């Protein structure tokens, strides 16, 4: 694959930021599988937005997993953006990372890289905070994504709080405001959703993970609303051994179109 470290100015953030991008390549090195959709010069390849967790950055998926090799076998582009510790939100006392990830970044990619902008070719996945971000995008922008996957996601920030309201991080992001009924209330969003409009959803969480109760609450709300979720609660903790196998299964599950 072609790997690009991309540094650029984000208008929504008012500052420079970074992302790592993997693009399919027909040629392959030893031990790699090349190829992908047989696209012409004006066509775009399927794309997976792959989101990092709270303690990580845009390099982490490549440093902890073999995502380049996994994605190469699928012929899919992978975009790994930097969002710092923002919970993919427009922070009250910080930067507008929700605007960045949901609006500016897709437009920048469409102008800069040969990726498809079609809903059926666009996917999102993430771990922990990134699992929250993936489902937040899927539930708030269902017209943009064909599928979304959360690995050990923080998907019920109201019912099983991992931050007290006065926590400095929570204060910076949300400023003490009530999250119920907002774009960050994933359980409320899935409970109110029209199942016919949503992307396909995949949820994976370890039974020993401290976020497992959040994932159970999300699955219960989805079931109440008739929202289908491909899910599994399997043995495992909040760890890269779990996510490394999980992202491979996500790539197998994605409805990637072939030529």
Q: What are phi and psi of 139, to 5 degrees?
A: -85, -25
Q: Provide the pLDDT for residue 45.
A: 96
Q: What is the pLDDT of residues 64-81, one digit of tens each?
A: 999 999 999 999 999 999
Phi first, then psi, for residue 74 (nearest 5°) are -95, -10
- Decide if pLDDT at 161 tops 80: no
pTM: 0.95
In the chain, the percentage of residues whose pLDDT exceeds 90 is 86
Percent above pLDDT 70 for the chain: 97
Quote the CA–CA distance of 98 and 166 in Å, as a whole number.
22
Count how many residues are written for the chain: 259
pLDDT value at 118 more than 80: yes
What average pLDDT score do residues 31-56 get? 79
pLDDT digits over 194-230, tens only? 999 999 999 999 999 999 999 999 999 999 999 999 9
User: What does the domain layout of the chain look like in residue ranges?
Assistant: 2-27+38-253
pLDDT at 239: 98
Within 10 angstroms of residue 166's Cβ, the number of other Cβ atoms is 8
Helix, strand, coil shares of the chain, percent, nearest 5, are 35, 20, 45
| 8-17, 22-31, 144-153: segment of lowest average pLDDT | 22-31
Band (pLDDT 50/70/90 cuts) for residue 40 is very low
Q: Round the average pLDDT of the chain to a whole number and report it.
A: 94
* Local confidence band at 39 (pLDDT 50, 70, 90 cut-offs): very low
User: Is pLDDT above 90 for 160?
Assistant: no
Distances, alpha carbon 66 to alpha carbons 18, 32, 45, 73, 97, in Å: 20, 11, 20, 11, 27
- 2-27+38-253: what CATH class? alpha beta
Distance CA 224, CA 219 (A): 9
* CA distance linking residue 12 with residue 100, whole number of Å: 6
């Amino acid at each position: 694959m072609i790997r690009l470290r991309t540094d650029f100015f984000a208008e929504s953030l008012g500052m420079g930021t970074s992302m790592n991008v993997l693009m399919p390549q027909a040629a392959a090195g030893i031990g790699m599988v090349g190829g992908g959709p047989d696209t012409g010069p004006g066509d775009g390849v399927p794309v997976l937005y792959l989101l990092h967790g709270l303690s990580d950055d845009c390099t982490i998926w490549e440093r902890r997993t073999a995502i380049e090799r996994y994605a190469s076998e699928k012929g899919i582009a992978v975009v790994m953006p930097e969002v710092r510790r923002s919970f993919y939100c427009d922070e009250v006392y910080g930067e507008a990372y929700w605007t960045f990830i949901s609006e500016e970044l897709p437009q920048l990619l469409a102008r800069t890289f040969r990726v498809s902008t079609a809903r059926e070719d666009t996917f999102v996945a993430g771990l922990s905070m990134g699992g929250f971000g993936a489902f937040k995008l899927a539930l708030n922008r269902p017209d943009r994504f064909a599928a979304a996957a959360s690995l050990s996601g923080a998907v019920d920030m109201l019912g099983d709080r991992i931050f007290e309201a006065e926590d400095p991080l929570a204060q910076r992001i949300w400023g003490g405001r009530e999250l119920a009924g907002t774009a960050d209330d994933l359980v409320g969003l899935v409970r109110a959703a029209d199942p016919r409009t949503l992307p396909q959803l995949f949820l994976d969480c370890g039974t020993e993970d401290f976020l497992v109760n959040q994932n159970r609450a999300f699955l219960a709300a989805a079931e109440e609303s008739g929202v289908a979720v491909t899910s599994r609660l399997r043995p495992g903790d909040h760890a890269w051994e779990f996510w490394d196998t999980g992202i491979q299964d996500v790539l197998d599950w994605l409805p990637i179109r072939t030529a």
